[in-house]
Amino acid sequence: MPGWVTDLFSNFWVSLGGKLLLVALMIPLVGMIIGFAEMKLSAKMQSRVGPYFAGGRWGWAQLIADGVKFFQKEDLIPADADRPVFKTAPILVLVGTVALFVVIPFGPNLIFRDLDVGVFYALAISSLSTIGILMAGWSSANKYSLMGGLRAAGQLIAYELPLVLAVVGSVILAGTMSLQGIVEAQIEAGYPFVVIQFVGFGIFMIAALAELSRIPFDMPIAESELVMGYLTEYSGFRFLFFFLAEFANMFTLSAIAATLFLGGYWLPGVPEDVLEFAGPIILITKVFLLVFAMIWFRWTFPRFREDQLQRIAWVWLVPLALLNIVVTALLKVIL
Amino acid sequence: MTANGSRRSLPGGGMLKGLGVTLSTMFKTIFRPKKYLATVNYPKVKETPVPRARGVIALDQEACTVCMLCARSCPDWCIYIEGHKEEIPPAEPGGRIKVRSKLDRFDIDYALCMYCGICVEVCPFDALFWSPEYEYSESKMGNMLHDMDRLQDWLLTVPEPPALEK
């Protein structure tokens, strides 16, 4: 790299701008890839062709066409809506997603900011979107939106707990809350933590599905009951924000799961000196495998009833996660 | 555990089975689309509709007697008929003058039609037929009103009726 380029990027503001641009480009890109994968894979799972027309082969431009369509639409705001709250809600939801990218380690040095409390930060910032969803539901002045928002609040609070408790096992094993440190601990241990933390991994993935309010946990937007839940009154690019946030959130939560349990950018047997270049590819491959599992679950399972959904969280996942913490702590002390 | 409690199966066994079904369907559809694909790439590949498909209603103007039964039986009043009487001079001098009805207008508004087929059923002179053609979408709503010449053209696409049972 020429000298003036490194000089330019050693400037704090330039490097900050560069990182922001990277994230801002990454979110629509990731959202489009996952959205397209969902369309195509769901079609195949149902013996359909799926999108094939836009862009020539395989309909690869379908999501671009969809995005353009959303921008052409009228930005409707209901007359009774609480306008400032209604307008900020989608931004808040997307901010929660963008902020998660900060702590995901893509390689030994490829991380936006390695926080000492990375895990804590990730879990705290991911619940920001809950507030956005509740705001959207409340400010729409629509009974379906309100019901959807309330359901979302009940569900996301219920599943926040197992999500946090499931992570604790990995934190105990690594002895640090920094996501970079957790990956390094897995490299040092020589195995991904899922080997010991398979219960934690399972609970984390179930809770992550619920946090994303995807099928089978899509009570907040249950189309057959609530039209579209808290999204009912949204149109145009505000709807696009929610849409992108959902798919980008799939990516970020899967990335955190991959980092905590599956070894992040590291793969057993890969020498450490190539991780700088191979790391991002390994991580993204793992993430897309997890995303595929999410898509697969969505097109296989029907929706849970509200009471079943709460029962799973409080009766099964929370005690299991607590037990997991106890057993992990005992193992850590004994071994 | 099953609902009646008589047979115990692995917990979550049904969920795994479901996952297996979707995954195997996915691979089958990806690798052997010819055999397993249930739908087709519509504008490029077309499915032939079954002979008795309710695609569009065709009119035989010669057979129509302007009896209006179809227009009156239509649930959403999408058939518009106008006609007048015509006098036909007697075949031999001194004979009786014949009067027959002449069709002036026979429109079906396919924007309204719900394809119930009551008009076809009720027609006493077999002037209305189902045709399996389905590609007549329009960019303007008004163009969905097919006049009697267009309905007459649809008659060419009506398949042969099945042979009568002996």
Rounded to a whole number of angstroms, the distance from the CA of B29 to the nearest CA of chain A is: 6
ipTM of the complex in this document: 0.70
Interchain pair B37, A47: CB under 8 A:
yes
Number of domains in chain A: 1
List, in sequence order, the alpha helices (H) in chain B: 13-31, 33-36, 69-73, 118-122, 148-154
Question: Does the CB of B39 have a partner CB in chain A at under 8 Å?
Answer: yes
Spatial CA neighbour of A197 closest among A180, A215, A185:
A185
Task: Assess contact for A205 and A198: CB atoms under 8 A.
Answer: no
In a domain, A23, yes or no: no
In a domain, A17, yes or no: no
Interchain pair A300, B21: CB under 8 A:
yes
In a domain, A46, yes or no: no
pLDDT for A143-166, tens place per residue? 888 888 888 888 888 888 888 888
Spatial CA neighbour of A165 closest among A213, A202, A220:
A202
Alpha-carbon gap, residue A298 to A292, rounded angstroms: 10
pLDDT for B59-116, tens place per residue? 998 888 888 999 999 999 999 999 999 888 888 888 888 888 888 999 999 999 999 9
List all residues 6 or more positions away from A299 whose beta carbon is below 8 Å from its beta carbon.
A41, A42, A45, A46, A215, B22
Tens digit of each residue's pLDDT, chain A (335 residues): 566 666 766 777 887 788 788 878 888 888 888 888 888 888 888 888 888 877 777 778 888 888 888 888 888 888 888 888 888 888 888 888 888 888 888 877 777 777 788 888 888 888 888 888 888 888 888 888 888 888 888 888 888 888 888 888 888 888 888 888 888 888 888 788 888 888 888 899 888 888 888 878 888 787 778 787 788 888 888 888 888 888 888 888 898 888 888 887 888 777 777 777 777 888 888 888 999 998 898 888 888 888 888 888 888 889 989 998 898 888 888 87
In a domain, A205, yes or no: yes
In a domain, A327, yes or no: yes
Q: Which of A38, A299, A300, A304 to mutate to test the interface with B (most CBs of B within 10 A)?
A: A300
What mean pLDDT value characterizes chain A?
83
Structural domain that includes position A110: 77-334
CA angle A208, A211, A212 (to 5 degrees): 90
Q: Give the SS3 label for residue A196.
A: coil
In a domain, A16, yes or no: no
Interchain pair B39, A297: CB under 8 A:
no
Q: Which of B19, B22, B28, B31 to mutate to test the interface with A (most CBs of A within 10 A)?
A: B22
Distances B104 to B22, B86, B107, B150 between C-alpha atoms, Å: 57, 11, 10, 14
Number of H helices, E strands in chain B: 5, 5
B115 φψ region: left (φ > 0), alpha (ψ -120 to 50), beta (else): left
In a domain, A189, yes or no: yes
A-B CB pairs within 8 A amount to: 42
Distances B20 to A218, B13, B24 between C-alpha atoms, Å: 22, 11, 6
Q: Is the omega angle on the peptide bond into residue B124 within 30 degrees of 0, that is, cis?
A: no
In a domain, A63, yes or no: no
Alpha-carbon gap, residue B107 to B72, rounded angstroms: 14
> Domains of chain B (ranges plus CATH)?
1-38 (no CATH), 56-157 (3.30.70.3270)
